[in-house]
Structure 1
Amino acid sequence: MTPVTAEAGEPLRVVVADDHPLVRRGLRGLLTGAGGFAVVAEAEDADGAVAACRAHRPDVAVLDLRMPGGGVAAAQEVVRAVPGTAVLVLTMHRDPVLLRAALAAGARGYLLKDAPAEEVLRAVSAVAAGQLIFDPGVAGFVVSASATAPAPEALLPELTPRQVQVLRLAAGGASNAAVAARLGLSLKTVQNHVSDLVAALGVQDRSEAVALARQRGVRGPSR
């Protein structure tokens, strides 16, 4: 296959995180040997994965779910701190609970470790291009995961319930004034909530907070 690259002539930059050295070595060999990919860093735990993504800002982070510190926690933090990095989960677990957690954390792909090498390469390219991709072994869980979407509070654990309400309305397109009217609050109170939630999420402004919320799957309430 011809992998999708971030820019013409430039390889996709990848961080690989797994607590098993043989897995990391195998992925590095597969990616670098295929051409069109560059493994810019490796990590053996969640903290290392997040640090590597902050430092290198790769196109894709390939994360194991069961590494020390937790792959779901790592995925959530990478999505929050480095929103330009797509997360691909590579795991041995066919578990709908883990799949739902990975999706809620912002992962764009969920692939099993027994997937063929060609499928791994395709998945890395696909998530980098903004696509969602799931292993056939868990495809049946995806519908279930969509049908039982997590509550907004679970998708935004950094925020208070009131901040979640405010951001959810903002993610639905409401202005601060409209949010105030909907919640029966003063405009100043809503502005304070927005300032607080922006700080809690570690983003620059309201627009980035809304973008992050939408990326995590938060949608505005139905009218």
Structure 2
Amino acid sequence: MSAIAVAVVDDHPVFRLGMVALLSTLDDIEVVAQASSAAEALEVVDGGVHVVLMDLELGDGSGVEVTRVLRSRFPGLRILMVTMHEDEESLIASIRAGAGGYLVKGAGPDEVERGIRAVANGELIVSAAVAAKAMTAVSAPPHRVTAFPELTERECEILDLVARGCDNASISRRLVLSPKTVRNHVSNVLSKLGLPDRSAAIVRAREAGLGV
């Protein structure tokens, strides 16, 4: 059996180098590439890589977007997210982009090894810390879209967070979107609903049962 070729993508040198050192001690796992940014990841990851350990937030972009691009280039490539974020939004965004696993950075060496081998075999693996939150989110009734049929699912999601009192920066982090994208979505929501400002959007959304 050939070794699992792994690329490690993380903009924190200490974590990245530590992960490379750990993986070098494991049988049948070989680190073949490293990247410290989204741009570098898109350059160094090629068809010879089996599994990418991907950080969610990179200095020049989102690990979710890099995952989406790499999976479109190499459909057989497996992505294992390794991140500090334990919220269900980040997990769901990662899975939708094509990630096959999601581990928090507090995971132990055995869990990391198990995660790599699992996603390499096409299995889905998720840290227990976020699995329960994700199940709650997935099983929640789809009231957001029906409350405002003129909005897209993403716009409804952002309106719900606005109604909860989240600012654009917070929404950006939770949904792993750029601040500019969030601003554009908020602007579209106000335009579609004919609302003058964010305060009016909060009132309208809460009247419809969002933000609770």
Q: TM-score range by the shorter chain?
A: 0.5 to 0.7
Letter of the 1:59 partner, please give it.
H
Distance 2:117 2:90 in 1: 23
Secondary structure at the counterpart of residue 138 of structure 1: helix
Provide closer, same or farther for how the CA distance between residues 70 and 154 of structure 1 changes in structure 2, counting only shifts above 3 A. Answer: farther
Letter of the 2:70 partner, please give it.
V
Alignment-derived partner of residue 59 in structure 1? 50
| TM-score, structure 1 as length reference | 0.60
Secondary structure at the counterpart of residue 106 of structure 2: coil
Alignment counterpart, residue 126 of structure 2, candidates 134, 151, 155 = 134
Show CA shifts across 1:95-132 (max 9, x none).
11111110110111000000111000000000000000
Alignment-derived partner of residue 78 in structure 2? 86
Instruction: Work out whether 1:18 is the aligned partner of 2:10.
Output: yes
1:15–1:41 CA contact under 8 A, matched in 2: yes
Provide closer, same or farther for how the CA distance between residues 139 and 37 of structure 1 changes in structure 2, counting only shifts above 3 A. Answer: same
Unaligned runs of 5+ in 2: 146-151, 155-212
Provide closer, same or farther for how the CA distance between residues 154 and 73 of structure 1 changes in structure 2, counting only shifts above 3 A. Answer: farther
Show CA shifts across 1:43-66 (max 9, x none).
011121122223x53110110001
Alignment-derived partner of residue 22 in structure 2? 30
Distance 1:29 1:103 in 2: 27
Unaligned runs of 5+ in 1: 1-7, 156-223
Q: CA deviation at 1:26?
A: 0.9
State percent identity of aligned pairs: 35
Alignment-derived partner of residue 101 in structure 1? 93
Runs of 4+ in 1 over 3 A off after TM superposition: 144-149
Distance 1:154 1:14 in 2: 35
1:99–1:145 CA contact under 8 A, matched in 2: no
Distance 1:38 1:75 in 2: 20
Q: CA deviation at 1:76?
A: 0.6
Letter of the 1:58 partner, please give it.
V
Distance 1:154 1:52 in 2: 34
Provide closer, same or farther for how the CA distance between residues 145 and 62 of structure 1 changes in structure 2, counting only shifts above 3 A. Answer: farther
1:18–1:44 CA contact under 8 A, matched in 2: yes
Letter of the 2:99 partner, please give it.
A
Letter of the 2:136 partner, please give it.
S
| TM-score, structure 2 as length reference | 0.63
Provide closer, same or farther for how the CA distance between residues 145 and 38 of structure 1 changes in structure 2, counting only shifts above 3 A. Answer: farther
